[in-house]
Structure 1
Amino acid sequence: MAHADTHLRTPRELAVVGGGVIGLTCALAAVDAGWRVRVHDAGTDRRAAWVAAGMLGSLGEGHPGEDELLKLSVESVRRWPTLLTRLGDPQISAATDSLFVAAASADAEHLRTLADFVWARQPRAHDDLRPVGPSEIRRLESGLSSRLHSGFLATGEGAVDNRRLLDRLRTAITDSGGDIVDDEVTDLSTIDADEIVVAAGLGSRALVADLGLYAAKGEVLRLRRTRWSVPPPTHVVRARMHGRSVYLVPRHDGVVVGATQYEPFDETAVAPDVGGVTDLLSDAVELMPGLRTYELIEAGAGLRPCSPDGLPVVRRVDERVVVVTGHGRNGILLAPYTADVVMTLLGDDRAESVTGAANDGGVR
């Protein structure tokens, strides 16, 4: 177990409620800062990150009207190399760059609007996000359709293997002296700890009042390569196909295809929708025809915890409880930034400086 410095002023026993990517990343940061940590994990079916592609795209998440989210994304992407080094498993990284492509001129205009938004707010983006034509698209990814109109190459916009990430976070926590227990917490008063971090996604609503969270349902497909298949792409491929968005994210044995999003919807209806799966497969195969020879091994649906303004909720509730939830589609992307904010709220002097972290820096 890591040892605390003598100047660490915070209590040393921390309970983290939630075993998803946010809870585990916060728990690892606390263990490394010298806390005695126990994670209460309600199980795989409660983790939005289990049904995810793991994209780390600050530029790719630059949508008009989401200026604050873009700022947070850029801050978090900057922290990801440090987290990956800490985890010590190079196979967590699934890709290092993203290729944005458009099927038709209207789709190209949509991508151009997103690029203009990012360029206007991130000066460095002119170097990291550049236009590419059909011939360069084919040179970068020969398996993509020859009928694509145009696109952009986003250097440094990578992805991680979400499930390998979750496994490695758990291992890193326990190897460093933390505990992870299978336990669904229903009452915070039953937890014996100096501080509690509630990172239970949508389940946080039952533990902390007035969060204002709602669920967004998302579907993701996992395709496995066969011996007759073309290789998976080496880039994250984010496409606009006749007005719909689809992405392909490489894995060592195939491709993750995503993603749909439904809101509002019946939260008890968590199975994948036939229509959503059909659209994803249709667009994916048009984008990369060789996927026809892959095997469909999983059609998964997950519930993403969303806040009304699209920004994560990260704040102190009382003298013992910090709540961290509401990351929507960006839980994996924002995990290291969120962990820094949480450590600041817990009073750890050694947490990396975060702009307005505990006050008005885009989290609440």
Structure 2
Amino acid sequence: MNSPRKTAHRTLTVVGGGVIGLTCALAAADAGWRVRVLDAGTDERASWVAGGMLGSLGEGHPGEEASLALSVESVRLWPALVKRLDDPAVVTATDSLFVAASATDIEYLRHLADFVWAGQPRTDSALQPVTGRDIRALEPSLSSRLVGGYRAIGEWSVDNRRLLEALRAAVTTAGVELTTARVGSLADLDDPGSDGQILLAAGLGTAALWPGADLHPAKGEILRLRRTRWSVPPPAHVVRARLHGRAVYLVPREDGVVVGATQYEAEGLTDRAPQAGGVADLLADAIEVLPGLRTYELTEAAAGLRPCTADGLPLVARVDARTVVATGHGRNGIVLAPGTAERVLSILEGVEE
């Protein structure tokens, strides 16, 4: 994020007040644009139901090398964004553990490390193999069944909801106008005589505003667990485990953990209720990884819809003389936010004024 600089009056309307829309709005305001954000004012946005992992390596899977490369580049911009927000408590962990309980799952992690993660440019993350003994030295509360994996130093996590609050505060201080409004079509934004720019960053809602956005919803579920006075502390690391061939993650929060990993095709835009089986699997796997979670309180089970594209890559592009889109980030919206903002600003700055 660059510091503000004086420019001619240029106006930008951002449709969407999630992490992508707000981060882009902040970047534009800091670059001298006059910005307003139109937000539907609901908690249905994908960034509300998220773990908040900034995994340049953790989000790398076979066949997703292009997406991983985008995450690696965006992670480099996160320290500057946190500094710009002036809220260090947004960051909940600075390192991650990738752990497994069987030889098969260990081999899967080893394959990622040797053939997927190793092919990326080096970031500030340092990857270290760990044994079961190492795991319990780092996180004594984790299960003794975890036999090995990797420690990724520099793989952060953030509190997604605190991040949204910090972004709202930052854009307001930067002079951005925040308005609660549901935009039904681009015609709602018509302003005769205006040459102002429009950024569509409304997640899945972008498709209703620009038909060229070929998006489909993927459903992700999370659990929020709160520590009680009898409970073990939350882990200091992000814990990303593989158990029985499936993944589960535990992301620390000030008062507990967020548990997640399930993602599958949604049955439409109204399919927002968590499934009993998904919740049961998440809870069972999380307790297997960290048995002390049994005394935590289950405070929330929620599902969110992630906007996905056919090729798994975000759609960030100019679509006409006035309109730019930034959507389709799938499960990686938070980690890709500063990289997307940098790309959007580059597109906007290229507009003939």
Q: TM-score, normalised by structure 1?
A: 0.92
- Residue 322 (str. 1) matches residue 320 (str. 2): no
Distance (whole Å) between structure 1 residues aligned to residue 290 and residue 65 of structure 2 = 32
Give the structure 2 partner of residue 354 of structure 1. none
Question: Does structure 1 retain, via aligned residues, the 8 Å contact 2:57–2:117?
Answer: no
Distance of 2:175 and 2:40 partners within structure 1 = 20
5 Å matches for 1:117-156? Answer: 117-122=115-120, 124=122, 128-156=126-154
Q: 1:115: how far off?
A: 1.0
Question: In structure 1, which of residues 223, 227, 230 is the aligned counterpart of residue 229 of structure 2?
Answer: 227
Would the alpha carbon gap of residues 125 and 348 (structure 1) be closer, same or farther in structure 2, given more than 3 Å must change?
closer
Deviation at 1:67, TM superposition (A): 1.6
Which residue matches 1:163?
A: 161
Query: Residue 64 of structure 1 aligns with which residue?
Result: 62
1:258 deviates by 0.4
Q: Counterparts of 2:77 and 2:87 in 1: how far apart (Å)?
A: 16
Q: Which residue of 2 aligns with 1:40?
A: 38
Distance apart, 1:126 and its partner CA: 11
Question: How much has 1:264 moved relative to structure 2?
Answer: 4.8
Residue in structure 2 matching 1:290, options 289, 292, 315? 292
**Cα distance in 2 for residues equivalent to 1:256 and 1:119:** 25
- The answer to whether the Cα contact below 8 Å between 1:49 and 1:162 also exists between their aligned partners in 2 is yes
How do 1:47-196 and structure 2 match up within 5 A? 47-122=45-120, 124=122, 128-191=126-189, 192=191, 194-196=196-198
Counterpart CA distance in 2 for 1:239 and 1:124 is 23
Equivalent-residue separation in structure 1 for 2:266 and 2:232 (angstroms): 38
Q: Residue 44 of structure 1 contacts residue 50 of structure 1 at CA under 8 Å; is this kept in 2?
A: no
The 3 A distance-change label for structure 1 pair 125 and 198 is closer
Alignment of 1:232-243 (within 5 A): 232-243=234-245
Aligned residue in 1 for 2:252: 250
- For normalisation by structure 2, the TM-score amounts to 0.94
1:336 aligned counterpart, secondary structure = helix
Once residues 68 and 265 of structure 1 are traced to their aligned partners in structure 2, the CA distance between those partners, rounded to angstroms, is 27
**Which residue is equivalent to 1:358?**
none
Match of 1:214 among 185, 199, 216: 216
Letter in 2 for 1:311: L
Contact 2:37 2:177 in 1 (8 A): yes
Letter aligned with residue 323 of structure 1: V
State the shift of 1:57 in Å: 0.6
Structure 1 alignment gaps of length 5 or more: 350-364
Q: In structure 1, what is the equivalent of residue 6 of structure 2?
A: 5
**Equivalent position amino acid for 1:41 in 2:** D
CA distance in 2, matches of 1:323, 1:123: 28
In 2, Cα distance between the equivalents of 1:165 and 1:305?
A: 20
How many residues are aligned here?
345
Letter in 1 for 2:306: R
Is the Cα contact below 8 Å between 2:54 and 2:334 reproduced in 1? Answer: yes
Name the SS for the 2:172 alignment partner. helix
For residues 154 and 343 of structure 2, the distance between their equivalents in structure 1, rounded to whole angstroms, comes to 24
2-side partners of 1:123 and 1:12: how far apart?
36
Task: Note closer, same or farther for the CA distance 1:3–1:267 as it changes in structure 2 (3 Å cut).
Answer: closer
Greater fraction strand: 2
How far did 1:44 drift?
2.8
SS of the residue corresponding to residue 77 of structure 2 reads helix
Deviation at 1:268, TM superposition (A): 2.3
Aligned equivalent of 1:360: none
In the alignment, structure 2 segments of 5+ residues that lack a partner are none
Aligned residue for 1:260, secondary structure, equals strand
Deviates more, 1:106-115 or 1:219-228: 106-115
Question: Partner of 1:115: helix, strand, or coil?
Answer: helix
* Per-residue deviation, 1:269: 2.3
**For the Cα contact (< 8 Å) 1:99–1:238, is it kept in 2?**
yes
Residue 227 of structure 1 aligns to a residue whose secondary structure is coil
Instruction: Return the letter of the residue paired with 2:52.
Output: G
How far residue 176 of structure 1 moved from its aligned partner, in angstroms, is: 1.3
| Identity, % of aligned positions | 65
Of residues 276, 281, 289 in structure 1, which corresponds to 2:283? Answer: 281
Structure 2 Cα separation of the partners of residues 326 and 260 of structure 1: 18
Q: Which residue of 2 aligns with 1:362?
A: none
Distance between the aligned counterparts of 2:79 and 2:94, measured in 1? 11
